[in-house]
Amino acid sequence: MNTIRNVHLLTVVVILISIIAAVHAQQMQSRNPAIGGRIQCLDGSLVESLAKCPLPKSSVQKVKARKTTAAPAAMAAKPLVQQLLARAPKRYWFKSDDFPPAITVIGAKRATAADKHKLIWDTNTKQAYFFAGNMLESWVNAKIRNVTTPHLPMGEQRYIPAFYQLTLTGDKQRDEPGLASYKRPPQEVLRKLSKAVSVKSPTDWLAAYQNAVPIKIDTSTRTLKLKRPILSNLSIYFNHSDGSGKILVMRFDPYYKLPLVVEEYRSMERGEGKGMLSMRKYYIDTFMFRGGRRVPISPSVVLLPKNNVIITESLWRQYQDDIGKG
């Protein structure tokens, strides 16, 4: 609007100057008619007629309108924790004080680090698969699949990974009866690995508080005392979700934007937590080692092998007895 108003004013000024120039030229012509019949313009030039007098030059410059780009309203209104959750790594593994073995996270699927035994589970369906061991393919085909296998020398026979299928909720009281039914090895490993289901990952913490309103967002820099000191520039304070009046604080990694430290306090005083009740520390990485090289985490880590067999504890017992390992 200001630019249009300026243009209109400029037009009026130019018209007025033209009129003054015409009047001046007529006056000059009447006062000095002996200039060879020519007219003197405002700039001092002599022309044959008034129409040929040049108009005064304007010093007004064109003003370009400034473009402004506003953030989408949906993004601006989105809670901070939801933004962090949306930007979190889709594949990573972590270690925590709660459960030292590494746990791989890909969406809702989880898996403990591959070792002699392994646990794979889904946090949505609560279905879990425990790797009990490898079974001779010939035995599996004969006893489970009802398929005839050509006889092969012992050293040439192939093995198939065998898994127990369980329902694990992370609630010890609910899960214990199912775990108690496993009597033979490797039941000790199964009980140990089953604890992984109750361990919250960094993204689980974000998901649990994504709709909560923070009571404080602290962007001051502090050093997180982990195995390798890390500078954190974001801490978010919440009222604890259990309604106990406790305070929960997440302190974030500046690179992955995931909580590396989760603290619980009795209360809040002078803008800080008072009376620490617990502290969980995490180590996070988005790469894994394979063949001595760091490579991106493969989705296969949290999936059952294509050629696998699901067994019961009684089938595993029968297998051990048949091959003389019972």
Residue range 81-92, pLDDT digits in tens: 999 999 999 999
The CA distance from 117 to 95, in Å, is: 17
Which pTM was predicted? Answer: 0.73
SS3 content of the chain, % helix, strand, coil (to 5): 30, 30, 40
- For residue 212, what pLDDT is reported? 95
Per-residue pLDDT band for 324 (boundaries 50, 70, 90) equals confident
155 and 174 both lie in a single domain: yes
Q: What percent of the chain has pLDDT over 90?
A: 60
Q: Is residue 78 part of a domain?
A: no
Q: What confidence tier does 38 reach under pLDDT thresholds 50, 70, 90?
A: low
- The answer to whether residues 216 and 162 belong to one domain is no
Position 6 pLDDT exceeds 90: no
Mean pLDDT lowest among 19-23, 83-87, 281-285, 304-308: 19-23
pLDDT band at 186 (very low <50, low <70, confident <90, very high): confident
Give the chain's mean pLDDT: 83
- The pLDDT of residue 223: 97
Predicted pLDDT at 42? 56
Whether 168 and 130 map to the same domain: the answer is yes
The Cα 212–Cα 113 span in angstroms is 32
Residues 258 and 184 in one domain: no
Same domain, 278 and 315: no
Q: Measured between alpha carbons, how far is 29 from 49 in angstroms, rounded to an integer?
A: 11
Count: domains in the chain: 3
Q: Give residue 144's pLDDT.
A: 93
Within 225-271, strands assigned E span 230-232, 235-239, 247-252, 259-269
Are both 183 and 242 inside the same structural domain?
no
Q: Has residue 66 been placed in a domain?
A: no
Confidence (pLDDT) at 28: 46
Of 16-20, 45-49, 83-87, 265-269, the least confident? 16-20
User: φ and ψ at 175, to 5 degrees?
Assistant: -85, -25
DSSP β-bridge partners for residue 135: 160
Q: Do 206 and 192 lie in a common domain? A: no
Asked whether residue 118 is domain-assigned, the answer is yes
Helix boundaries (H) for 130-264: 137-140, 172-180, 187-194, 202-208
Find all residues with CB under 8 Å of 3, minimum gap 6, and list them: 62, 63, 65
pLDDT score, position 227: 87
* pLDDT (tens digit per residue) in 115-134: 688 999 999 999 999 999 99
Q: How many Å apart are CA 195 and CA 166, to the nearest integer?
A: 13
Asked whether residue 65 is assigned to any structural domain, the reply reads no
pLDDT at 71: 40
pLDDT at 21 > cutoff 70: no
Is residue 181 assigned to a domain?
Answer: yes
* 238: its two tokens: 């919440």
DSSP tag of 174? H
Residue 7 C-beta-side C-alpha neighbours within 13 Å: 6
Question: What is the per-residue pLDDT for 291?
Answer: 86
Residue 76 belongs to a domain: no
- H-only helix segments in 46-196: 73-77, 80-87, 137-140, 172-180, 187-194
Residue 17 and residue 143 share a domain: no
What's the whole-number mean pLDDT along residues 254-265?
96
290 falls in which pLDDT band (50, 70, 90)? confident
Nearest-angstrom CA–CA distance, 197 and 179? 13
Q: Which of 107-111, 180-184, 229-233, 307-311 has the lowest mean pLDDT?
A: 180-184
Which residue range(s) make up the domain with 48?
2-52
pLDDT of res. 116: 84
Are 174 and 225 in a shared domain? no
Q: Which residue has the tokens 């003389």?
A: 324
Q: Roughly what angle, to the nearest 10 degrees, separates helices 187-194 and 172-180?
A: 170
The answer to whether residues 267 and 313 belong to one domain is: no
Do both 218 and 185 map to the same domain?
A: no
| pLDDT, average across residues 299-324 | 92
Q: What is the pLDDT of residues 51-68, one digit of tens each?
A: 566 655 544 444 444 443
Partner residues linked to 250 by β-bridges? 236, 262
